[in-house]
Amino acid sequence: MNIKLDKYTPSSLASLFILLMEGGITPNQIMSGIVLLATQSHELEGTMFSTECLHFLMKAIPMDTTAPGVTEFILSFANESINIGMLLDAFAFACQKQGSRNIASLVSLTYQRLEADRVISQLIND
């Protein structure tokens, strides 16, 4: 896979998630891949509250690991320089468009909290 990161990337990721959900993949199955990518990529290391944010999200949206192909596909995004923030932002938008407003709100809040945590941690470490 070769993904070009540009101003259209968030829309493309959201469209991908919408297509997956229209094809029968649940938000819980997609969330499983995103959380696994977050833990395996160590992208959130060095931040203060990121682990709690992900734990909260996993409690609110229980992971469903019954679609290992989807999880592996999402894990492959790490090779394309797509970060957790991009995925969560696009996933929240896709959930909103698909009518899963509660999930969209939770994912969006988590995304905002992770971004704030990243900035605060960077300021503290500098």
Which SS3 state, helix, strand or coil, does residue 6 take?
Answer: coil
Q: Which of 90, 83, 86, 81 is nearest to 1 (CA)?
A: 81
pLDDT in tens, 23-69: 999 999 999 999 888 888 877 776 666 777 778 888 888 889 999 99
Number of domains the chain contains: 1
Instruction: Confirm if 57 and 110 have CB atoms less than 8 A apart.
Output: yes
Q: Does some domain include residue 57?
A: yes
**Is 20 among the domain residues?**
yes
- d(CA 14, CA 79) in angstroms, rounded, equals 18
In a domain, 1, yes or no: no
Phi-psi sector, 67: left (phi>0), alpha (psi -120 to 50), beta: beta
| Domain annotation covers residue 27 | yes
Domain membership of residue 95 as a residue range: 8-125
The percent of residues in the chain predicted with pLDDT above 70, rounded, is: 89
* 25 belongs to a structural domain: yes
